[in-house]
Every structure is written in C-alpha cells, then in structure tokens.
Structure 1
C-alpha cells in the first residue's frame, strides 16, 4: 500500500493542474520566477513548497479558489478562501451589486449563473424572454440549470434560429470551464455529441456573435456580455457571473421596452 506525504499530495495536485491546462514546467517556472528544477522537485515531493511559493504557483496557474484551498490543505496548510452561501449576511454587498446590475438594464434579459451553470437569480426581462419563447419558467426553476435547459429535448436550443453557432460557442465555453469543475464535466458527458458540432457565423460584419431567437413576436436578436467580480476572495463570489442579453436591433428593443 502506497502512502503520500502532504508534500507529495500538494505536488501531485500542482502537476495535475498544470497538465490539465497544458502548461509546461518551464512555462510555469518562468511565470513564477523559480527554476524548472525546483518546480520539478516540488511536483515529485522531493522538495517542500512554502505557503507563499505554493500560492504563487497556484496564481501562476490561475487556479480556481476551491482548488487553491485543496492544494493548501494537501500541503498541510489551512485553507485560505471562504465559501459563504449566497444568502449569508457577509454576502450582502455582493447581492446588492448583483441586484443593481439586474435592474439597471431593464430592457436586457439578465441572469446570474454559478460555476455549474445553475440559475441563481434573474430579472423581469428574463421572464419576459421566456414568455416570448413560450418556455416554461416553472420547469426551469424546478431544474435550474441553464446548460440543461438549453440542450434538453425541446429545450431553449429549439427556439434558436442559429443553433449551431450559438451552441458551438456555449459548449466550447462550458468545456473550458469544466477543466476546473468536475460536476460540469459530468453534465457535458450527458449532452449529445451532435450538439458540439460548431458552425462559423454567417455574418462577419457583426463585431460579436448575435444570438437569434424565434418568438411569438418574430425574430429576437441579442448580443451577450458577461460580468464577474474582480479580485474575489470567496469561492461563491468567484463562481458567479452575470450574463446580459442586450437587444441587437430596434424590433428586439421594442419587445422589451
């Protein structure tokens, strides 16, 4: 039976993180300012990394906060980052900012997602969008996952006029994020492979991909923006992102005015 010391555990985690991101030892060593030999010794457990060195290496890998905590614990250090539930009193400021962003752009459907694409919050225009698409809000609230709602049989993808373009972009993004989110990896494995077939946008005159929906009032066109919290020090705060769907033409703006 093989056992691992805390130093080896932390080194294995660093090595696996680096391999998942396809970053060489040399590249990471240059980012952090250590020798490749020293990094190799840390990964194999032949050398111990100080807490500061370990955090520097994790920063060099841009590791998610939960994985930084796990690596710290594996090395015998206390976890550094909290993981407060969204309704915790210390998250009041985060919630105030989220609510402000959801209401400030009242004509833009907006939703708050966590790292697993679960729907955390949404605004009135998001409800309006679902109504125009004849999509059941209650069904989405019962299984509040936007990725599943998009790709399920009869899901939101069936309302898209350019599904190959939009799904290709969405699923590529989810695959990148899934490198750090095992639950998201499991979810992606359930999605039919045919949905991962990408298609180049037909109109390169647009500066960004336009999401086109067929609705009860005709075609709706949106451009998406994503907002996340800068310098997060909490795992929950780091996982949240706010997506706004801004109307891309006058007809869509009128539908949400």
Structure 2
C-alpha cells in the first residue's frame, strides 16, 4: 500500500481547483503565505499538508464547501462542513430567515436558488409573475432549473423583451460560478450550443442597473433584481442558497402586483 496516495489525491484536488480558476501556483502561494515550492510539493504529493494548511489553500481558492470536504477526505482528514437537507430540523433557523425574506415586501416576486440554479422555494409574488407571463408553473416545478427554463423552446426566455442583455448577463454570471461548481457546469453544458457560446457586446445602459423586461398579459413588466446570501455559512446547503428579489421598476409593474 502506498502511504503517499492520500496526499497525492488531495494535491490533485487542489491542482484541479486551481487550474479551473486559472490561478497560478505563485498567485495562490502568495495569497496563503507559503512558498511556491512547498505548494508544488503538496500538489504532487511529495509533501503532506496539515489540515490547517489545506483549509488555508482552499480558502485562498474560495473553494465551495463541498470541495473543501472532498479535499480534506482525500488527504485523510474528516470533513469539516455539514450537508443537511433543507428540511432538516437543524436548518429551521435558515428556513425561518428564508421565509421572512420571501414575504417582505410581499408584492415583489422572490425565489430561492441553489448553487446549480435550481429553484428551491418561491413566494406568492413569483406565482403571480408566472401567471402574468402565461407560463406553466407545473412545468417549471417538474424541471426546476432556471437556466434550462430560460433556454428551453417556448421557455421563460421567450417572454423577455430584452433577451440579449438579460441572457448574456445570466450566462456570464453562471459561467463564473461554474468554475467552482461542477454541477452548474453540467447544466451549462446541457444548454443549446448557440446560446452557450453567444457573447453580446452592448453599449452603456440607460440606468444604474440592468432591468429585466417581460412581455405579459397586462403589458410590459420591468424588474431590477437583488441577491441575498448567508454570511459565514458552515453548511454546504446553506452556502449554496441565494434569494433573488425581483423589485418592480415602474408604476405599471407595481400595479400588477398590488
């Protein structure tokens, strides 16, 4: 039995994470405060890293908690971060916060997404939006990935009045996040090639933030979005969640939700 195998395996995990993010050994070494030579030895398995060193390197790469656990286990250490399902009793506080965020302000559509952009929860305002867009909520719940729902034939993307700007922004964000999240990369790979590879170049926008504009049964609806995440998450599920509030950007849209 090769006693160095766990160290080599952990080193490969680190190297692959670093390569996906296009971070050089020197850059990561400087972030963490170790020599490039020592980092190279860790990645090749010639040197074993302590648990604290591995966590520092993973923090330097801003690695997802799930990949931090994976690397620790590969090195022979116990995982640090829990992975409780959203309905676990120890997630009750998380769910209470989510429910508070979803219900205030009650008129604005709001959704909860996980790290792969799957729809986890939504509020009555979002149900109202789906109704106004004349979209099948049941179909969305059956395949609850927002990226796939936007890209599907006859999907949510067909209700957009400014699809180039919105889809370009969405894809750019998703592709940045996919550097850390293999499950999200798998979703992106499933998108139509013409959409996945499109890069639009737009001039300056007229407002301070990009508006999402929909065609609906009551006319044009305009929204600006904000995102909320949990600070200092210590659980993989909690770290993956974000709440998007879609705030009406004009009086006509507010009236449709009042």
CA contact (8 A) 1:164 1:195 kept: no
1:23-172 → structure 2 map (5 Å cutoff): 23-172=23-172
Distance 1:38 1:198, change over 3 A: same
CA contact (8 A) 1:84 1:235 kept: yes
Q: CA deviation at 1:256?
A: 0.8
Distance 1:248 1:201, change over 3 A: farther
What is the rounded CA distance, in whole Å, between the counterparts of 1:48 and 1:25 in structure 2? 17
Superposed CA deviations along residues 85-134 of structure 1, whole A, max 9, x for unmatched, are 00000000000000000001212100001111111100000000000000
- Matched position secondary structure for 1:86: coil
1:179 aligns with 2:184: no
Superposed CA deviations along residues 3-60 of structure 1, whole A, max 9, x for unmatched, are 9611111111111111111111111111111111111111111111000011000000
- Matched position secondary structure for 1:226: strand
TM-score (norm 1): 0.96
Superposed CA deviations along residues 203-225 of structure 1, whole A, max 9, x for unmatched, are 62211111100001110001111
Structure 1 stretches of 5 or more lacking a match?
A: none
- Matched position secondary structure for 1:14: helix
The corresponding residue for 2:237 is: 236
Distance 1:108 1:169, change over 3 A: same
| Number of residue equivalences | 256
1:245 aligns with 2:230: no
- Matched position secondary structure for 2:111: strand
TM-score (norm 2): 0.95
Aligned residues: CA RMSD: 1.5
